[in-house]
Copies of this chain bind each other. A is one copy, B any other.
Amino acid sequence: MISERLKKQLSAGSQIRKMFEEGNRLKAIYGADKVYDFSIGNPDLEPPHEVSDALKELSNNPTPGMHGYMSNSGYESTRSAIAAKKSAESGLDIKSDAICMTVGAASAMNDVLHSLLDQDDEVIVIAPYFMEYNGYISNHGGKAVIVQTDDKFMPVISSIEAAITPRTKAIIINSPNNPSGVVYPSSLLSELNEMLKKQDHVVHVISDEPYIDLVYDGMTVPCALKYIDNLIVCFSWSKSLSLPGERIGYTLVSPKNEDYADLTAAIVLSNRTLGSVNAPAIWQRVIEKSLNAKVDVSNYENRRNLLYSNIIDAGFDAVKPNGALYIFMNTPEGLTDDKFSEICASKNLLLVKGSSFSRPGYCRLAFCVSESTIRNSRQAFFAIADELGLSHRASL
């Protein structure tokens, strides 16, 4: 009696549940410290002190109405503060009404897609990509059209252009990328914009930016607002401030977007009718007081370095990620990601198959696990390499 759509999704979802259960099974047998579970991308740093200070201040000094309804788009003061910050970053004149506060980035994406899509409209996604996009798109009657990147996981503009049809409403970009960790350079964003300007109809670019503050090697992520006109940003503080359980983010429509007035109104309406109504009041206030704070990114960078060394030193290959929380390693020559992940599991090492990101031949490892787990896993990588007859590049 549940819907056909949900029946399909429930059976498809069981693969992830199986892995989760497999992790628990292995931990019960071998002990938690002997299982190297790189499957789950759960930000594990505590929020910076600005966040806990702001939360304390608000809780200890309650003001009347602080837990009441506000506009569906959120507090004006919060949106103004974000608009000022994003104006400074982009050089654009961003007004507070460009922004709608949301229940995290997942809710932001649903609001935007609900606003854009009619039945059978198409949305281009760039593989490898976060598999939840499929659900966000189909929720609102749309179809995901998958375009592959090159072997460094960089989008190829001509491939994207070839996938555009009269029904293409939007392209989702995600940089730093989950699962590959690559950061798109500004030149690529400019090329994308130029190509889209030549099309017969408006194709919006939805920039999913939850990892924008998690970037390493002294890099900065180019601000998509600077380079793409018909842009809609979806953001979440889940990673930047380590608040994934609290659900706070926003949508931002570029002032250069040709559908600015309709889109900003439609997103606020979608935010109401899809059931969020508004983003949690207290977290909007906390965010306003913590806008310039950030988690300790060097901590993640250190763990990325350790895990990357394990992979490379053991004899495997991977593009070194400049951002996000994942390494998307190549599966060794001649092995499917299915078979490779089976071999890894036999050594108590858990990862997610690239097929789950529409990119077979790779596997994703999340490095937001304890440093000791990463250090202890080194021998497992070496043992797997031995079993496959790979030559190590360094000693254990």
Q: Could you list which residues of chain A lie within 8 angstroms of chain B, going by C-beta atoms?
A: 1-7, 9-10, 13, 42-44, 46-47, 51-52, 55-56, 58-60, 62, 64-70, 102-104, 106-111, 114-118, 121, 132, 135-136, 139-141, 169, 201-202, 204, 242-247, 258-259, 262-263, 265-266, 269-270, 272-283
Contacts and interface: CB of A to CB of B under 8 A. Distances in A.
Question: Shortest 8 CB-CB distances between A and B: which pairs?
Answer: A245-B281, A107-B275, A135-B273, A110-B275, A59-B59, A106-B275, A6-B266, A2-B266
Contacts of A117: 3
A139 B274 contact: yes
Contacts of A3: 114-118, 121, 140, 266
A269 B9 contact: yes
B4 A118 contact: yes
Contacts of A242: 67-68
Nearest to A104: B277
Given A114-B6, A202-B1, A262-B2, A243 B103 contact: no
Contacts of A244: 67-69, 277
Contact of A5 (B43, B46, B107, B118): B118
A269 B16 CA distance: 13
A259 B2 contact: yes
A247 B277 contact: yes
Contacts of A68: 42-44, 242, 244-245
Contact of A70 (B60, B201, B245): B245
Given A1-B116, A68-B44, A136 B276 contact: no
A281 B69 contact: no
A1 B245 contact: no
Contact of A276 (B70, B103, B270): B103
Given A62-B52, A115-B2, A263-B2, A280 B277 contact: no
B258 A1 contact: yes
B273 A275 contact: no
A166 to B, nearest CB: 13
B6 A270 contact: yes
Contacts of A139: 114, 273-274
A67 B132 CA distance: 22
Contacts of A280: 103, 245-247, 280, 283
Given A6-B114, A58-B59, A135-B272, 20 more contacts: A1-B262, A2-B266, A3-B117, A6-B266, A42-B69, A46-B64, A51-B67, A67-B243, A67-B244, A68-B244, A70-B245, A104-B277, A106-B277, A110-B274, A111-B275, A132-B272, A139-B274, A244-B277, A247-B276, A276-B276
B265 A10 contact: yes
A245 B114 contact: no
B55 A59 contact: yes
Nearest to A110: B275
Contacts of A245: 66-70, 278, 280-281
Contacts of A47: 67
B273 A276 contact: no
15 contacts: A1-B201, A1-B259, A3-B117, A6-B114, A56-B59, A67-B242, A103-B275, A107-B274, A110-B274, A110-B275, A132-B273, A246-B282, A275-B276, A280-B280, A280-B283
B281 A246 contact: yes
A141 B118 CA distance: 11
Contact of A56 (B60, B66, B266): B60
A40 B70 CA distance: 12
Contact of A59 (B9, B52, B111, B258): B52
